Amino acid sequence: MEVNVELLIGTKVSDVNGNKIGRIEELRYERDDTSCRIEAYLIGASALIDRLSAWTLLRPIGRALRTRKVLQVYEVPWQEMDLRDPKHPKLRIAKGDLRHAK
Amino acid sequence: MGLVRDVLDKKLMDREDCCMGRVSGLVMHVSEHAQPRVTHILIGGPTPWMRIHPSLGRVSRWLAGMWGPKNGEAVRIPWSRVETIGRDIKLDVEAKETGALDWEIWIARHVIERIPGSGSEEEE
Amino acid sequence: MLQITLGIVTSVGGFLEIGSVTTAAQAGARFGYQLLWAIALGTICLIFLVEMSGRLAAVSKHTVVDAMRERFGFPFFFIVCVGIVVVAFMVLVAELGGIGFGLQILTGIGFPWWAVPISFVVWLLMWKGTFGLIENGASLLGLVTLSFLFAAFRLHPSWSSAGAALIPSMPQSGKAQYGFIAVSIIGASISPYLMYFYSSGAIEDKWDRTYIPINRFIAGFGMTFGGVLSIAVLIASALALQPNGILVDTFPQAALLMTTALPKWGFYLFAVSMIFACFGAALEISLAIAYFFAQGFGWNWSEDLEPSKNARYAFVYTIIIMLAAIPLVLGVDPIKVTVISMALTSATLPLAIVPFLFLMNDPIYLGKYRNGWISNTVVAIIILMSFVLAVISIPLQIIGG
């Protein structure tokens, strides 16, 4: 199945129980000579700030907020993302099993 | 490495350093048990407009079919043609052969080169 | 040092175009020296913004528009494109009208008759000229506006009173109009298309990191040049027009600010100054709009290439200039267009400045040349100011315009 990455960005993701997680803001990839493989999906507002390279500007505020777990980045391995309906991506695991991106 | 930050909307250059446009979209092949892979880069067409709203994509496709090179679809470049990803994305293709410059060539031939002083080869 | 011409031509488009001259003249005629602070504020803001635009281009080899598209994506770019291009187009109409008004003063032939020939000449210079020719030519021609400075000095202003007016103060009456003119002055000065033009010019002139110190000088000197001349217009107007109760409701009235100081030549010098200044501004805005489209969509672009080699870029400026002539041919008053465009410029400023703050702190584009705390503070203040201007500009235009 073909999915347009640019249309996936910004779509809301829910977990296997239907709980809202956040929006897909970035896709982590690995590249070799011939292919580009998706490793993980980054979900959350902090991922957007990462994508805008805006931490330099927002780091003092961001650190304070991240330690309070208000702005979180979830890193979802590719195996755990169900994209059968690209407009409504779902996780194959529960929110509690997600790990935060480093 | 982030696909959106490193690739999406970046400028594309061909093997002769000619500007080919920007990455409007990326096609990813997804299947149940295989790791998703990016298979194609999309240039132009309705792709950027679809990112704003699907109806704008349909309007863009319709308008592009009415005039110009009459090609309303995006140009698809296989990911295997990507050479380097840096400040711009370098592709191992020739821009004119991909169709990415169809509009540029059409406007040059049908509008610009008909105006004196455009510097077209025919004039020289 | 010929690079200084990029700074001068940019400041012509910011300070010596029809909108800035008209509002400075109105400010002086209505409120004397009281609005000098608005021009000074606009100048300082512009120095910082233009310096940053040049630094971004020199270090990253990206223009502001390139970087905005890549960082913020196509949907955001498109929203900014609509806002900025619509307003810039209106300013272009006003500038072509300004040239027409100048020719009307000199020849007595109404400006609508000049719309097509003027547009043709602007287009021809872009069609056949190189960036260097436009940059240097517009700067050299723009030097005739030094006549405003000469006129101001001849009227023997009180420099201590002028200096005191650098601190904002409210007038006794006409507060709404005072606010409107202040907003218009700042909006006319901090026009986003200046940043896009300057960063594109830096790429056209092939700047690299070695140009960073020169860029600071060019931004500082160039914008100060424009700001000082704009202040000269205000001072001349305050001394020549305010005592006689002339309020600059029409463009030819603005010419009177030169005739008190220079009775024999002032009227014609004003007309010639406006022709050349608006000509430079028209070129700059046309280039800025074409650059915006070409860079945003990833087309080939350079004023140094022949039109057939960057067809879509040439097509954009050809269409833009043609369309800009139409309202003038139909007799639309360029001053009315100027007034509306200045209010809209203020209203759309946040669209341009907010992403700029992010870009100037991006380590991937700028590395160690990112903004320091001073530049960031200034941009943050400009953003705050731009939001305030965005909210109040249109109501003020209705009440005080």
What is the rounded distance in angstroms from the CA atom of residue C288 to the CA atom of residue C316?
11
Q: Give CA separation, A6 vs B120, C154, C321, C329, in Å.
A: 37, 62, 34, 44
- Per residue in C245-304, pLDDT tens? 888 877 778 888 888 888 888 889 999 999 999 999 999 999 999 999 999 999 999 988
State how far residue A6 is from chain C, nearest Cα, in angstroms.
Answer: 9
Query: Looking at the complex, does the CB of residue A12 fall below 8 Å from at least one CB of chain B?
Result: no
Q: What is the mean pLDDT of residues C197-209?
A: 93
Tell me the CATH number at B30: 2.30.30.240
Which of A9, A52, A56 has the CB atom closest to C370's CB atom? Answer: A56
Residue C78 in contact with residue B47, Cβ under 8 Å? Answer: no
B79 assigned to some structural domain: yes
With CA atoms as reference, report the closest residue to C15 among C259, C338, C278.
C278
C-alpha count within 13 angstroms, C-beta hemisphere, residue C149: 12
Q: Give the mutation candidate from C70, C120, C310, C317 for the B interface (greatest B CB count, under 10 A).
A: C70
pLDDT value of position C346? 82
What is the rounded distance in angstroms from the CA atom of residue C319 to the CA atom of residue C376?
38
B43 assigned to some structural domain: yes
B119 and C306 in contact by Cβ < 8 A? yes
Name the neighbours of A, counting chains with at least 3 Cβ pairs within 8 A.
B, C
Q: What is the mean pLDDT of residues C51-74?
A: 95
pLDDT confidence of B123, banded at 50, 70, 90?
A: very low
Average pLDDT value for chain A: 83
C69 and B9 in contact by Cβ < 8 A? yes
What is the rounded distance in angstroms from the CA atom of residue A18 to the CA atom of residue C15?
57
B26 and A34 in contact by Cβ < 8 A? no
B123 assigned to some structural domain: no
The structural domain count of chain B equals 1
C-alpha count within 13 angstroms, C-beta hemisphere, residue A89: 27
Q: Domains (ranges, CATH) in chain A?
A: 5-100 (2.30.30.240)
Buried/exposed C11-26: b ≥16 CB within 10 Å, e otherwise: bbbbbbbbbbbbbbbb
With CA atoms as reference, report the closest residue to C86 among C337, C393, C280, C390.
C337
With CA atoms as reference, report the closest residue to C188 among C12, C15, C395, C352.
C15
Question: What residues have CB less than 8 Å from C218, skipping those under 6 apart?
Answer: C3, C4, C6, C7, C54
B119 assigned to some structural domain: no
Residue C268 in contact with residue C288, Cβ under 8 Å? Answer: no
- Domain residues for the domain of C60 are 4-400
DSSP 3-state assignment of B37? Answer: strand
Name the neighbours of B, counting chains with at least 3 Cβ pairs within 8 A.
A, C
Residues from chain A contacting residue C361 (CB–CB below 8 Å): 53-54, 56-57
B122 assigned to some structural domain: no
Q: Give CA separation, B14 vs A48, B96, C70, in Å.
A: 30, 9, 18
- Domain residues for the domain of B78 are 3-114
For C330, the enclosing helix (H) or strand (E) is none
pLDDT confidence of A60, banded at 50, 70, 90?
A: low
A54 and C370 in contact by Cβ < 8 A? no
Alpha helices (H) in C32-63, listed in sequence order: 36-60
The structural domain count of chain C equals 1
B50 and A4 in contact by Cβ < 8 A? yes
DSSP state of A21: E
Tell me the CATH number at C147: 1.20.1740.10
- For A57, the closest chain C residue by CA position comes to C361
Report if pTM > 0.90.
yes
B52 and C75 in contact by Cβ < 8 A? yes
Does the structure's ipTM exceed the value 0.90?
yes
